[in-house]
């Protein structure tokens, strides 16, 4: 298992779902729905550094992960999401 895969499965899958499409079980209970990470990564108007910033510093619907993860961890997660959808 790659570093990105284990981190994703530990911290993110509950909300963002198996493939990162935002359909995790815990996410369904939230008022704000988790984003489709794969779509975000492949969207020209959401540069990767902004997505990394969202993960590290949080957003309306999501806590900040900056105390647990570094930029390279987030990049590993994104690489994993790209790979399983590719």
Residues at the interface with ligand HEC (CB under 6 A):
11-12, 14-16, 26-27, 30, 32, 34-35, 37, 40, 46, 51, 54-55, 59-62, 65, 77
Least separation in angstroms between CB 85 and ligand HEC: 14
Structure tokens at 4: 């990105």
Least separation in angstroms between CB 5 and ligand HEC: 12
**Burial (Cβ within 10 Å: 0-12, 13-18, ≥19) of residue 7:** buried
Q: Residue 55 in contact with residue 65, Cβ under 8 Å?
A: yes
Q: If we measure between CA atoms, which residue out of 82, 32, 78, 31 comes closest to residue 51? A: 78
Least separation in angstroms between CB 12 and ligand HEC: 3
* Of residues 41 and 86, the one with the C-beta less far from ligand HEC: 41
């Amino acid at each position: 298992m790659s570093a990105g895969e284990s981190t994703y499965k530990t911290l993110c899958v509950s909300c963002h779902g198996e493939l990162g499409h935002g359909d995790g079980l815990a996410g369904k209970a939230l008022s704000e729905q988790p984003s489709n990470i794969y779509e975000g990564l492949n969207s020209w108007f959401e540069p990767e550094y902004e997505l990394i910033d969202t993960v590290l510093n949080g957003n309306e619907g999501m806590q900040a992960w900056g105390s647990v993860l570094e930029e390279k961890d987030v990049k590993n997660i994104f690489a994993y999401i790209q790979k399983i959808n590719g």
